[in-house]
Amino acid sequence: MPELPEVETVRRGLAPVMEGQVIARAEVNRPDLRWPFPDNMAARLTGARVVRLRRRSKYILADLDRGETLLIHLGMSGRMLISGDPLGRFVHDHPAPEKHDHVVFHMRNGARITFNDARRFGAMDLMRTNTADAHPLLAAIGPEPLGNAFSESHLVAALRGRNMPIKSALLDQKIVAGLGNIYVCETLYRGRVHPARKAGRIAAGRIAGLVPIIRQVLTEAIEAGGSSLRDFRQADGELGYFQHTFDVYGREGGACRRDGCSGTVRRIVQSGRSSFYCAACQR
């Protein structure tokens, strides 16, 4: 499932052709994805101007001039693909419709944005912009890791006394927004923290030290266009490249890349997810 860097990469790709632009026609080709689409979604979107595109955790939010906000979740395999971009940033002509093109935005400027989702685990919803933060999918989400609200003191306080593994704690969206399996594994490797360590038993200084590492890992991933493992594509259809720099994720049996460490990368399963770590330098 796309994590924060992948969703932010897609948002940045969509912004030049959607922000300030009118949806000339919205085409909705099925009644649902993971959940039913909102009533009259095509009509409510057609003719609306996209005032702003923003991201909250792993969701893209399009604020419309009608006082509503479109929520988009990519799910496991969802793609937002641009064609016919009048700004000249994308060279793709409009492709022929495909089986899994479930929602299509025909923009007045000539661009077309297609939401293609083969597995149909994605989702869209419409909500009032002024109460968007209270939406059931957004209400309990913690601070954005690249924002000012995510600080050393916040993370230390949030993990104090926690009996859950640090890996599980950092995946908890109520503690910090947008982190997923890949970037937590990479963060804990850089912080030299074993993924199975109980969060509440890790010294406050070590917990605080994870905050700048989280920001660094996410920033590097965004600059690389995210990580493409299976289905993820950027808005222009290109792959992300951060997967080529993974230190531990997916590298079971490989040598540790830290200078002076002779350890190997191991894999354990935590809550049904693979955790990758160096057996020698993560304690």
Q: Which CATH number fits domain 4-134: 3.30.70.260, 3.40.1260.10, 3.20.190.10, 3.40.50.300?
A: 3.20.190.10
Q: Which listed residue (55, 58, 79, 167) is catalytic?
A: 58
Point out the catalytic residue in the list 2, 5, 145, 195. 2
Predicted confidence (pLDDT) per residue in 125-146, tens digit: 999 999 999 999 999 999 999 9
- For residue 249, the model assigns a pLDDT of 92
Could you read off the pLDDT of 205-261 as tens digits, one per residue? 999 999 999 999 999 988 887 654 444 444 555 544 456 678 999 999 999 999 999
Is pLDDT of 108 > 60?
Answer: yes
Q: Check whether 50 has a pLDDT greater than 60.
A: yes
Question: Is 2 labeled as catalytic in the residue annotation?
Answer: yes
pTM of the entire predicted model: 0.90
pLDDT at site 234? 46
* Mean local confidence (pLDDT), 103-122: 94
**Of 3, 8, 68, 186, catalytic:** 3
Lowest mean pLDDT among 14-18, 39-43, 184-188, 212-216: 14-18
The residues spanned by each domain of the chain are 4-134, 152-278
With a pLDDT cut of 70, the percent of the chain lying above it is 90
Average pLDDT of 142-162?
A: 97
Domain 152-278 coded CATH 1.10.3720.10: no
Output the pLDDT for position 71. Answer: 98
**What's the pLDDT at 98?**
78
Mean pLDDT of the chain: 90
Q: What is the 3-state secondary structure (H, E, C) of the chain?
A: CCCHHHHHHHHHHHHHHHCCCEEEEEEECCCECCCECCCCHHHHHCCCEEEEEEEECCEEEEEECCCEEEEEECCCCCEEEEECCCCCCCCCCCCCCCCCEEEEEEECCCCEEEEECCCCCCEEEEEEHHHHHHCCCCCCCCCCCCCCCCCHHHHHHHHCCCCCEHHHHHHCCCCCCCCCHHHHHHHHHHCCCCCCCEHHHCCHHHHHHHHHHHHHHHHHHHHCCCCCCCCCCCCCCCCCCHHHHCCCCCCCCCECCCCCCCCEEEEEEECCEEEEEECCCCC
Residues 77-106 pLDDT 10s: 888 888 886 655 555 567 777 789 999 999
Average pLDDT for 15-25: 96
Whether 149 contacts 57, CB under 8 Å: no
Q: Which residue in the list 34, 215, 257, 273 is annotated as catalytic?
A: 273
More confident residue, 225 or 280: 280
Read off the pLDDT of each residue in 157-181 and give the average, rounded to a whole number: 97
pLDDT of residue 236: 52
**Is residue 273 annotated as a catalytic residue, yes or no?**
yes
Average pLDDT over residues 15-43: 96
Q: Does residue 170 surpass a pLDDT of 90? A: yes
pLDDT, position 244: 65
